[in-house]
Amino acid sequence: MKKVNRVPLVVLVVSASILVITFMAVFLGGCSNPVTNQGPEDSIPFFALIPRTGSVIEAYLNYWDVADGKVVKTDKVVYTIPILPPITSTTDKAIKAQNFYNEDHRYSPVYWDGSSTLILPSFYQPTASVYERTEVWNLVKITGRSTGLGTTLSVFGKDVEMLAVPDEKSGDYRRYLVKLWDGKEYVEKELNLNYTVPGTNYKPLYPLAVANSEDKLYILVCGQFNPETGLDLFLCTVDKATWTLQWKKIDVKKEASLSVGNPPYTTNTIYFDGSFYLPCSCYCDTAAKVDVGKLTCDRWDVNIPEQFTPKFSEEFSQFISTPLPSVLGSYENYVIFEKRSDLESYIFAIDRVGEIASVMHLTYDDGNVEILNKDGKVLSKASLGQDVSFVFPKPNEE
């Protein structure tokens, strides 16, 4: 692979017959002195997304104090999101692009590690200098979304960004511009994920998450459907000294139950403490866990007591009664895991040994939040606003 160049600001223009995407990084922080973003010692930062006056959503920085069992609110609006009209056949393509991004990413940043780095899409407006490194990325889909690609055109990890470069003839997304942050600027490399399993014509489909260690990149790649275990998985390990690739197939256990009905994407897959976490089928009560060292994928062994089961409305329960599990992110010592219905959500801070450290219970209609211990005892209550939703960090780091 060739080394392209070193530049602090990059404009990458990519075009294809299906999509036209523009990526542009603009630094907003780093030179200025950000205001403090320190929460309690044992806490998890999160954004509370609150609609205001029907025209904008404000992202407030708050903290989930795990040790003391409470929510610590701040008055810091870190970014705002304009509320757009519903998509119609005549809707402007740029508005469609933003609506698609909002739907796929649940109003999340492109990347947020919770402590030092925040990267926003260009149609979100940063309003406070909270993080040492803040960037805005111009990411616009001109012609809409393409199945399976809507959330895989960019993959972010700690100090690494992978930007898809479509093949001009086939439109395949196998080549990526990889940008490694060295603390001052980006070092750019080109990476080709056009791998074929030896002896077959089988090609893995798209990357899900990337982890950046001192000497290697670990890229989890989604494969095709396997009738025995569901979706296949592959691990691509990149040696950063030689920029050579090693591909290994993950041994997916049947209990992991990877489903095309609830497929993994970059938005619901994370890396934490030597493992990747991704969604199981709708009938799995936790998540799938990929052990990078063992090259195995199994059901994440976490015990969620029955009392933390969200209830469905009578109207909705006619169609589904199984809570939807998902991995929302991670921060320092915790994986943030959710089980939700159309009425409420239970969000769990799971520690490194797989135990529940704290539980957040949110009711959607009034925005009331309870913090519970692992036995279900209510430790505190707070109100964050009607129709509030949450965003948690996804640093994709050890």
Number of domains in the chain: 1
Range of the domain at 347: 3-391
Tell me if 233 is assigned to some domain: yes
**Residue 336: is its pLDDT beyond 60?**
yes
Rounded average pLDDT over 125-148: 68
**Residue 21: is its pLDDT beyond 50?**
no
Tell me if 186 is assigned to some domain: yes
Rounded average pLDDT over 137-166: 66
pLDDT tens-place string over residues 49-64 = 999 877 899 999 999 9
Mean residue pLDDT of the chain comes to: 84
**Residue 198: is its pLDDT beyond 50?**
yes
**Residue 266: is its pLDDT beyond 50?**
yes
Which pLDDT band holds residue 337 (cuts at 50, 70, 90)? very high
The whole-model pTM stands at 0.87
**Residue 235: is its pLDDT beyond 60?**
yes
Which pLDDT band holds residue 148 (cuts at 50, 70, 90)? very low
Q: Note the pLDDT of residue 178.
A: 95
Tell me if 54 is assigned to some domain: yes
**Residue 270: is its pLDDT beyond 90?**
yes
Residue scoring higher pLDDT (153 or 395): 395
Tell me if 396 is assigned to some domain: no
Q: Note the pLDDT of residue 298.
A: 93
Rounded average pLDDT over 369-397: 95
> Which of 3-7, 42-46, 157-161 is predicted least confidently?
3-7
> In the chain, what percentage of residues exceed pLDDT 90?
53
**Residue 16: is its pLDDT beyond 70?**
no
**Residue 128: is its pLDDT beyond 90?**
no
Q: Note the pLDDT of residue 89.
A: 73
Tell me if 307 is assigned to some domain: yes
**Residue 241: is its pLDDT beyond 70?**
yes
**Residue 25: is its pLDDT beyond 70?**
no
**Residue 211: is its pLDDT beyond 60?**
yes
Residue scoring higher pLDDT (263 or 111): 111
Tell me if 398 is assigned to some domain: no
pLDDT tens-place string over residues 72-91 = 999 899 999 988 877 777 77
Which pLDDT band holds residue 153 (cuts at 50, 70, 90)? confident
Tell me if 397 is assigned to some domain: no
Tell me if 176 is assigned to some domain: yes
**Residue 174: is its pLDDT beyond 60?**
yes
Report the C-alpha gap between 48 and 62 in whole angstroms: 7
Residue scoring higher pLDDT (87 or 177): 177
